């Protein structure tokens, strides 16, 4: 394990991902974790992340007591990045100054003494900077390896103690040799081996699930999204027929999605699937409701009820899809485990502790029925989204499932502005299918984070089609780019593509006589309209 010490903001997650791209397992730990606790995790190396603070500020995060002793006494190499570089310099007797000139964005570093990290790399190289303070004097024992016009110590290292620091951000793609520097630190500086591969991840996770679940039974709610699908596929590999998946078809899915789950997913995994057709029930519950929050509440509530009923049925042994239980056990063997597709960012964001993470993951299925007490199986809780996708491919899941864009739990219910009816859902489904198909044909699926299509069901406008007046509804296209859905920008789709989508939707979908594009970033807009 490589520990990435989090000094704030989003930097640590990106670093941890990059380390894993070097095929080395990494975990994020808070900067408040005592050094002894870090050591107990037997790290091969420690990386100190960037952060938004100034080492001079009151309350700025500091290195845990004795952290740097770990490099000297315990032989744990360390790499300080940006704020982490400054923390390292300050703690070991160097000087950090509040410089007048900040460096934000692209800069050029000049390599003065290559050392281990820069050996053989160009004398001048483009890097990404984001700092106000800088290290003006390296601690004794360190060699200054690189500098910029503004930053005297943009790189430093002490090979003997295994300490390295850079002021810029190697984890950012704008830093030309950033990944190379990271690889050198990991492989040469810390002796890590590149054994974090998909094959190993799959094998180890399958083994861990087997160990956790034993001969007990588990259930999993499939949403059709990539996380629950990969989690279920993995658990299925581990425990086979002891797993039953529940798929609630609430009628708010997009065209082709129920079939994807019911046919493609089952074909690829051989999983026991318990399908609940709850379309009428959801429509009835949503009847006449136009308020977004109200809709969300109703959908969440109904989902829990349906899932609860299905779970009880399975617990009682009434699962339709279930084949004979292993070892001749009767089907009344209780279901002890609930599989969830919780990912690493959720775990980190909810404090990294197991307790906190569980509260949030319960929320993934909309809250668990209280009297059904499950133990959680979360086979993806140490993985990032891109790793989950790679794992899905490794497990042989269909591309359409693995590369599906995020889709909200309440589905099309929150993409109809106005009350939800069967008719409106059909209209929206048709328009959405066209937009998605054209996006795929344009080869842009992986460039666009999400492409909601929204029906303004309570709005009508006048149009003319085939010499006659129409009075139909507008459709809103909402293509966005994003890294994590926290912020987003509207995607500048090619005009030709927009034109094709517009023409096809107005020609092929009844009731739609106008197509608009939402050009609002997030913030101030959200990705979804409701």
Positions at the binding site: 223-229
State how far the Cα of 407 lies from the Cα of 94, in Å rounded to an integer.
Answer: 50
Give 309 or 528: the residue with its C-beta nearer to ligand XMP: 528
528 is an interface residue for ligand XMP by CB under 6 A: yes
State how far the Cα of 387 lies from the Cα of 343, in Å rounded to an integer.
Answer: 10
Stretch of residues binding ligand XMP (CB under 6 A), selected from 30-38, 160-168, 272-280, 521-529: 521-529
188 is an interface residue for ligand XMP by CB under 6 A: no
Catalytic residue among 103, 171, 257, 530: 171
231 is an interface residue for ligand XMP by CB under 6 A: no
State how far the Cα of 224 lies from the Cα of 227, in Å rounded to an integer.
Answer: 9
Size of the site for ligand XMP (CB under 6 A): 11
Stretch of residues binding ligand XMP (CB under 6 A), selected from 103-111, 491-499, 510-518, 519-527: 519-527
Q: Is 246 helix (H, G, I), strand (E, B) or coil?
A: strand
- Contact letters for ligand XMP, residues 275-314 (x by CB under 6 A): ---------------------x------------------
Handedness of CA 291, 294, 296, 299 (dihedral sign): negative
Please provide the size of the chain in residues. Answer: 530
DSSP lists the bridge partners of residue 476 as: 454, 516
Give 445 or 528: the residue with its C-beta nearer to ligand XMP: 528
366 is an interface residue for ligand XMP by CB under 6 A: no
- Candidates 31, 90, 450, 502: give the one binding ligand XMP (CB under 6 A): 450
448 is an interface residue for ligand XMP by CB under 6 A: no
Q: Which of 234, 242, 237, 233 is nearest to 213 (CA)?
A: 242
State how far the Cα of 515 lies from the Cα of 530, in Å rounded to an integer.
Answer: 19
CB of 353 to ligand XMP, least distance (A): 23
CB of 507 to ligand XMP, least distance (A): 28
Quick check: is 171 catalytic?
yes
409 is an interface residue for ligand XMP by CB under 6 A: yes
527 is an interface residue for ligand XMP by CB under 6 A: yes
Handedness of CA 107, 112, 117, 120 (dihedral sign): positive
Stretch of residues binding ligand XMP (CB under 6 A), selected from 260-268, 284-292, 407-415, 428-436: 407-415
Interacting positions 110-149 with ligand XMP (CB under 6 A): none
CB of 225 to ligand XMP, least distance (A): 8
Stretch of residues binding ligand XMP (CB under 6 A), selected from 88-96, 111-119, 406-414, 469-477: 406-414
Neighbour tally for 73: CB within 10 Å: 10
Run of H or E residues at 40: helix 35-40
| 150 secondary structure, DSSP code | S
Pairing of strands 243-249, 217-222: parallel
522 is an interface residue for ligand XMP by CB under 6 A: yes
Tokens of 349: 């964001």
94 is an interface residue for ligand XMP by CB under 6 A: no
CB of 406 to ligand XMP, least distance (A): 4
Q: Annotated binding site for ATP: which residue ranges? A: 223-229
| 194 secondary structure, DSSP code | -
Interacting positions 376-395 with ligand XMP (CB under 6 A): none
Stretch of residues binding ligand XMP (CB under 6 A), selected from 97-105, 169-177, 353-361, 402-410: 402-410
CB of 461 to ligand XMP, least distance (A): 25
Interacting positions 469-498 with ligand XMP (CB under 6 A): 485
For residue 210, give every residue at least 6 positions away whose Cβ sits within 8 Å of its Cβ, in sequence order, or none: 238, 239
518 is an interface residue for ligand XMP by CB under 6 A: no
Q: Which of 435, 86, 20, 390 is nearest to 226 (CA)?
A: 390
Stretch of residues binding ligand XMP (CB under 6 A), selected from 141-149, 319-327, 374-382, 401-409: 401-409
CB of 407 to ligand XMP, least distance (A): 6
Q: Which phi and psi angles does 147 have, rounded to 5°?
A: -150, 165
Q: Look up tokens 């059904």; give the residue.
A: 372
Neighbour tally for 10: CB within 10 Å: 16
408 is an interface residue for ligand XMP by CB under 6 A: yes
317 is an interface residue for ligand XMP by CB under 6 A: no
The torsion of the CA quartet 108, 114, 120, 123, rounded to 10 degrees, works out to 30
CB of 460 to ligand XMP, least distance (A): 25
Q: Which of 481, 485, 193, 463 is nearest to 345 (CA)?
A: 485
Convert 465-485 to b/e letters by CB count within 10 Å (16 or more is b).
eeeeebebbbbbbbbbebeee
Quick check: is 85 catalytic?
no
Are the C-beta atoms of residues 136 and 147 closer than 8 Å to each other? Answer: no
Catalytic residue among 169, 177, 274, 473: 169
Quick check: is 82 catalytic?
yes
406 is an interface residue for ligand XMP by CB under 6 A: yes
CB of 488 to ligand XMP, least distance (A): 7
State how far the Cα of 80 lies from the Cα of 83, in Å rounded to an integer.
Answer: 7
Would you tell me the crossing angle of helices 226-239 and 385-394 to the nearest 10 degrees? Answer: 50
Q: Look up tokens 């960037």; give the residue.
A: 50
The alpha helices in 341-405, defined as continuous H runs, are 344-349, 354-362, 385-394, 399-402
363 is an interface residue for ligand XMP by CB under 6 A: no
Instruction: Indicate which residues carry an active-site annotation.
Output: 82, 169, 171
Residues that bind ligand XMP (CB under 6 A): 296, 406, 408-410, 450, 485, 522, 526-528
């Amino acid at each position: 394990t490589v520990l990435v010490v989090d000094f704030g903001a989003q930097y640590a997650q990106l670093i941890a991902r990059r380390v894993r791209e070097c095929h080395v397992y990494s975990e994020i730990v808070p900067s408040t974790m005592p050094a002894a606790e870090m050591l107990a995790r037997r790290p091969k190396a420690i990386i100190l992340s960037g952060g938004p603070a100034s080492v001079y500020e009151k309350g700025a995060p500091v290195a845990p007591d004795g952290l740097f002793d770990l490099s000297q006494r315990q032989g744990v190499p360390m790499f300080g990045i940006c704020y982490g570089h400054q923390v390292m310099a300050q703690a070991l007797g160097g000087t950090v100054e509040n410089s007048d000139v900040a460096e934000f964005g692209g800069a050029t570093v000049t390599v003065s003494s290559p050392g281990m990290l820069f050996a053989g790399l160009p004398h001048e190289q483009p890097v990404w900077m984001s700092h106000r303070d800088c290290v003006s004097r390296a601690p004794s024992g360190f060699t200054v390896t690189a500098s910029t016009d503004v930053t005297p110590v943009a790189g430093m290292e002490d090979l003997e103690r295994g300490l390295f620091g850079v002021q810029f951000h190697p984890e950012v793609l704008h830093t030309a040799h950033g990944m190379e520097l990271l690889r050198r630190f990991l492989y040469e500086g810390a002796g890590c081996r590149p054994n974090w591969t998909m094959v190993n991840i799959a094998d180890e996770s399958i083994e861990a699930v087997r160990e956790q679940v034993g001969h007990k039974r588990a259930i999993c709610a499939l949403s059709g999204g990539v996380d629950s699908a990969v989690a279920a596929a993995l658990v299925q590999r581990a425990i086979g027929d002891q797993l039953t998946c529940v798929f609630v078809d609430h009628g708010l899915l997009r065209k082709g999605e129920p079939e994807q789950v019911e046919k493609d997913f089952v074909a690829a995994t051989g999983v026991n699937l318990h399908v609940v057709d709850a379309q009428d029930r959801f429509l009835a519950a949503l009847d006449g409701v136009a308020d977004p929050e109200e809709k969300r509440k109703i959908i969440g509530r109904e989902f829990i009820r349906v899932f609860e009923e299905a779970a009880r049925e399975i617990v009682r042994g009434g699962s339709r899809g279930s084949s004979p239980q292993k070892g001749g056990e009767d089907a009344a063997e209780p279901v002890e485990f609930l599989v969830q597709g919780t990912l690493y960012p959720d775990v980190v964001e909810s404090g990294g502790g197991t307790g906190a993470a569980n509260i949030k993951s319960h929320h993934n299925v909309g809250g668990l029925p209280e009297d059904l007490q499950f133990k959680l199986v979360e086979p993806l809780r140490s993985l990032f989204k891109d790793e989950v996708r790679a794992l899905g491919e490794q497990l042989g899941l269909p591309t359409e499932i693995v590369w599906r864009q995020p889709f909200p739990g309440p589905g099309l219910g929150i993409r109809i502005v106005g009350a939800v009816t069967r008719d409106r859902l059909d209209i929206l489904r048709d328009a959405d299918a066209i937009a998605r198909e054209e996006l795929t044909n344009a080869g842009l699926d992986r460039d666009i984070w999400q492409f909601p299509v929204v029906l303004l069901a309570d709005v009508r406008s006048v149009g003319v089609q085939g010499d006659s007046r129409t009075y139909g509804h507008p459709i809103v296209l909402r293509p966005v780019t994003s890294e994590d859905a926290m912020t987003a920008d509207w995607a500048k789709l090619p005009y030709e593509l927009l034109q094709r989508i517009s023409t096809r939707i107005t020609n092929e979908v009844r009731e739609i006589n106008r197509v608009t594009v939402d050009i609002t970033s997030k913030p101030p807009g959200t990705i979804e309209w409701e």
